[in-house]
Amino acid sequence: MEKKTFILNFGHKLTRQVLDELEPCEEVFCPLDLDLDRETMGQVVRQVQRISKEVGKKGGALDGTSPLIVALPGLTEGAVLLLAELHGRLGVFPRILRLRRQEDGTYGLFVRSDEVRGGVFDLERFRRSARGRR
């Protein structure tokens, strides 16, 4: 039996169209809203702990055993800290959604015709290929 893929959404709420394109996935929405006047690393850790509990309630885990796709927050600092925290917990970089703002203000998947699974970027595969360029 194939494990359910969880979309960990730390950014904008995804449209039904995006979710339909990614099926079978289950979105866990927990936007990362950082207060930059406070210590940011702790805020990211607490947010990942919250989303980890939500994934656990749905039968998954943030330990590298459940398939994940991450919708990153728009704030660069938050995205980088989030990826570092998730890499530490998962042991690998997660796949991420490639979203682009649409004319109507919503966010849709950015898909290129040469991609096997459009709209999803495999950061771990990219990291492994970079290791060969050292």
pLDDT tens per residue, range 21-37: 888 999 999 999 999 99
Q: Tell me, what's the pLDDT at 114?
A: 58
Q: Is the peptide bond before 24 cis (omega within 30 degrees of 0)?
A: yes
Of 87, 105, 92, 107, the C-alpha closest to 18 is 107
Residue 2, pLDDT above cutoff 80: no
Q: What is the 3-state secondary structure (H, E, C) of 8-59?
A: EECCCCCCHHHHHHHCCEEEEECCCCCCCCCCHHHHHHHHHHHHHHHHHHCC
pLDDT in tens, 79-130: 999 999 999 999 999 999 988 888 887 777 777 655 545 688 899 999 999 9
Of 16-20, 60-64, 74-78, 83-87, the range with the lowest mean pLDDT is 16-20
Task: Give the pLDDT confidence score for residue 115 in this predicted structure.
Answer: 54
CA distances 28 to 4, 7, 108, 119, Å, are: 12, 6, 17, 18
Q: For residues 3 and 125, give the distance between their C-alpha atoms in angstroms, rounded to a whole number.
A: 20
Question: Where are the domains positioned within the chain?
Answer: 5-131
pLDDT higher at 100 or 44: 44
Task: Please say whether the beta carbons of 19 and 25 come within 8 A.
Answer: yes
The pTM (predicted TM-score) of the whole model is 0.88
117 or 71: which leads in pLDDT: 71
